[in-house]
Chains A and B, each alone.
Chain A
């Protein structure tokens, strides 16, 4: 998963997946529509990326209801937090390396 040279996580090469992680790291949980609005992406696009993150064990999905409407919320997992932190550290190291 990790690039051995830079330490960057391949999964976070997608800006949308990285965006989802950035939002979830500071929000206990967030629903699909708020994610969509924040990232300015289409339903299908976002859903694909969310499935990918879930399959990698980085996020947890909670299916709930508000009245009759489904309300799906997402939260970050421990391994998601760890992977995200490592990715940030790698990015920071790259900047330091350049300088």
Chain B
């Protein structure tokens, strides 16, 4: 930054830009959303395979019991793999974007964003594991969607505000899912797959297309 006389319009523009860059993590790439969505759809497809192999038909019978079921372990493992794959891919794409923008990937904005996203999501993860301990599978998809939505709304204060609306949509989807318990996997695939791809595409179009 050099010292020189500026027009007031330019000065105000600089001030606004600094406020934005210093308080929000703006390297978050829309491509990250698309990649996470693709991971989720592949995961849902494999989960559908695992379930039909185990004799589950859609919509699932809400009164079916799963205690001691090997299928639960396989699905949990799959879920963890999808989560890690989506995380790594979106981290990589966001890292690329931060390099392009010449902004640090690890500063107070990214730390705040991650922490605020992480707390509701971790709470949701524990809640889901707690339910599964008692063979309660019916509310796994709604709980994933609702807690994830809460995480997004919480994190939206520290990055593009757009993700707040994605958060609202995830919560609404989770709430609707509770009326259609047997369709959890479909709702999960829409919430984590379709909505991520849709939102990622919008954010890419809005912020990265011309950059």
Given A22-B18, A95-B8, check contact A16 B3 (CB 8 Å). yes
B residues 12-53 in Cβ contact with A at 8 Å: 12, 14-15, 18-19, 21-23
* Measured CA separation A22–B15 after assembly (Å): 6
Q: Of B4, B8, B21, B22, which contacts A91 at CB under 8 A?
A: B8
Q: 0/1 per residue, A8-19, Cβ < 8 Å to B?
A: 000000111011
Q: Of A15, A16, A38, A88, which contacts B22 at CB under 8 A?
A: A38
Asked whether any CB of chain A lies closer than 8 Å to the CB of B62, the reply is no
Say whether B23 contacts A91, CB under 8 Å: no
Q: Sort chain A's interface into a size bin.
A: 20 to 34
Say whether A19 contacts B12, CB under 8 Å: no
Asked whether any CB of chain A lies closer than 8 Å to the CB of B64, the reply is no
Q: How many A-B residue pairs have CB under 8 A?
A: 59
Asked whether any CB of chain B lies closer than 8 Å to the CB of A51, the reply is no
Given A23-B18, A25-B19, A27-B23, check contact A15 B9 (CB 8 Å). no
Say whether B107 contacts A37, CB under 8 Å: yes
The binding surface of chain B is classed by DSSP as helix
**Shortest Cβ distance from A66 into chain B, in angstroms?**
13
Asked whether any CB of chain B lies closer than 8 Å to the CB of A83, the reply is no
Closest 8 CB pairs of A and B: A23-B22, A26-B23, A22-B18, A91-B8, A22-B15, A94-B8, A26-B19, A95-B8
A residues with a Cβ closer than 8 A to B are: 14-16, 18-19, 22-23, 25-27, 30-31, 34, 37-41, 88, 91-92, 94-95, 98
Q: List 15 A-B contacts (CB under 8 A).
A: A14-B3, A15-B6, A18-B11, A19-B14, A22-B15, A22-B19, A22-B22, A25-B19, A27-B108, A39-B18, A40-B1, A88-B12, A95-B8, A95-B9, A98-B8
